[in-house]
């Protein structure tokens, strides 16, 4: 997986009109391979539509990835005749490679692409990019699977598309509805951070880009589209499906192991209204409490199940220690990622070691409670043991959250921002 992206956070989203002076607001890329017959018709139709309906400056870029027919000549002729058209030649195949290369070199603040067959109704183009221009969203996709979409295609392709998106939802927890529609857009500053992390150079490029963006918390806008299948499509369905499944496995493994630095795609503090300060409540506390309670409830269930299983063969103290140890490791890992938003492998071992110290404190509380119960009642029932353990775990949970927040996962970003704000304040006073 690629990780060579800048370390600073993304800038806050803003309306792009003021920031786009001197460059076309929109750059629409058409990736092609051996499309000498359809390319000219596509470009002329798209240019006519944009000239009539798009209210801002635009550019059309033909990304020829290693065509062996007359496609490069057609693209060069169109670029010479039409000022808003340019051509870009790559010597290697791969739609993902073509998009990454052209998008990485474009100076337009909004980058889009569509397939050369123009299967998608062009009336959806302005609704696709408008949320990106306004600063509302980071990425936008056309969806053929939305309820209001109107789609004409064969049952085979319909089944494959829906099955693939079902796989994405079940394996990668994807929430977007259509990963494969060739009709997408992205803000340039997002592309600069996101594209180096996307490894695929073929048809899985779209899916990988969307999954990583969604996991990083970026906003993806979906537009229902009208779409007519191209019966002359040269896409090899079986090979593409096989490559996609391999990509799903690769991305899923990377996400599970924390190998991707998705924190580099985080928007700055305050851009998300959920992060805004609430009077009397430390920043982020409300959301952390919710996440901690959810993780804690699941961890408690796991703990009780494990304790009951271990108790069948060993004593109460050993069963309690073993169940608490297993659930504590899982609890620390879950809170690290879900509650406190720590991504990547950095510091994972240290966090688990600190979590074990917190575990030891919880063990002392619960073991002490069991010992006190044994002294008070001699031989207590299993139900009484569970009731005492639940009460002790509630006390340990409060202490665990305080230690996690203040010691294991402190908000270093907030400290850094406060330091910068203090330095800026001193500089203004000095002036």
Q: How long a stretch of residues is the chain? A: 431
CB crowding 373-383: b at 16 or more within 10 Å, else e: beeeeeebeee
Identify the bridge partners of residue 28 per DSSP, sorted by sequence position: 60, 112
Q: Where are the beta strands (DSSP E) in 163-322?
A: 183-187, 220-224, 226-228
Instruction: Match 């009397």 to its residue by tokens.
Output: 280
Please write down the HEC assignment for all residues of 304-360: HHHHHHHHCCCCHHHHHHHHHHHHHHHHHHHHHHHHCCCCCCCCHHHHHHHHHHHHH
The one catalytic residue in 117, 206, 244, 411 is 206
Hey, how many other C-beta atoms are within 10 angstroms of the C-beta on 82? 14
3-state secondary structure 34-54: CCCCCHHHHHHHHHHHHHHHC
Q: How far apart are CA 111 and CA 195, in angstroms?
A: 12
What is d(CA 315, CA 331) in angstroms, rounded to the nearest whole number?
Answer: 24
Active site residue 275: no
Q: Which residue has the tokens 């804690």?
A: 296
**Cα 325 off chain centre by:** 31
Handedness of CA 334, 337, 340, 344 (dihedral sign): positive
Question: Which residues, in sequence order, are bridge partners of residue 61?
Answer: 29, 86
CA gyration radius, the chain: 27
373 phi/psi in degrees, rounded to 5: -65, -40
Catalytic residues: 206
């Amino acid at each position: 997986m690629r990780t060579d992206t800048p370390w600073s956070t993304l800038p806050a989203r803003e309306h792009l009109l003021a920031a786009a002076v001197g460059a076309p607001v929109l750059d629409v890329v058409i990736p092609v391979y051996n499309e000498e017959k359809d390319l000219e018709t596509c470009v002329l139709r798209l240019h006519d539509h944009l000239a009539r309906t798009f209210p801002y400056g635009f550019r059309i870029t033909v990304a020829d990835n290693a065509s062996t027919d007359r496609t490069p000549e057609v693209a060069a002729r169109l670029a010479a005749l039409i000022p808003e058209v340019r051509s870009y030649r790559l010597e290697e195949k791969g739609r993902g490679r073509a998009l990454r290369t052209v998008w990485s070199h474009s100076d337009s603040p909004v980058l889009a692409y569509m397939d050369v067959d123009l299967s998608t109704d062009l009336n959806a183009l302005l609704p696709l990019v408008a949320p990106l221009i306004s600063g509302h969203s980071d990425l936008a996709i056309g969806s053929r699977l939305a309820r209001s979409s109107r789609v004409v295609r064969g049952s085979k392709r319909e089944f494959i598309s829906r099955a693939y998106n079902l796989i994405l939802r079940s394996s990668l927890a994807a929430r977007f509805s259509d990963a494969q529609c060739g009709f997408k857009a992205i803000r340039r500053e997002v592309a600069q951070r996101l594209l180096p992390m996307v490894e695929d150079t073929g048809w899985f490029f779209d899916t990988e880009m969307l999954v990583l963006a969604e996991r990083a918390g970026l906003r993806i806008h979906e537009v229902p589209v009208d779409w007519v299948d191209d019966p002359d499509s040269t896409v090899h369905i079986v090979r593409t499906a096989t490559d996609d499944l391999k990509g799903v496995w690769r991305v899923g493994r990377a996400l599970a192991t924390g190998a991707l630095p998705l924190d580099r795609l985080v928007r700055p503090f305050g851009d998300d209204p959920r992060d805004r300060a609430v009077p009397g409540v430390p920043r982020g506390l409300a959301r952390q409490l919710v996440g901690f309670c959810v993780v804690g409830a699941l961890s408690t269930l796991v703990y009780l199940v494990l304790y009951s299983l271990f108790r069948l063969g060993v004593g109460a103290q050993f069963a309690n220690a073993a169940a608490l140890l297993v659930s504590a490791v899982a609890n620390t890992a879950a809170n690290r990622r879900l509650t406190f938003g720590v991504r990547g492998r950095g510091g994972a071992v240290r966090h688990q070691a600190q979590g074990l110290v917190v575990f030891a404190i919880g063990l002392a509380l619960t073991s002490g409670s069991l010992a006190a119960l044994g002294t008070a009642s001699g031989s207590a029932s299993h139900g009484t043991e569970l009731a005492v353990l639940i009460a002790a775990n509630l006390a340990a949970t409060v202490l665990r959250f305080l230690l996690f927040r203040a010691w294991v996962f402190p908000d270093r970003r907030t400290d850094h921002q406060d330091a910068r704000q203090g330095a800026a304040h001193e500089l203004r006073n000095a002036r």
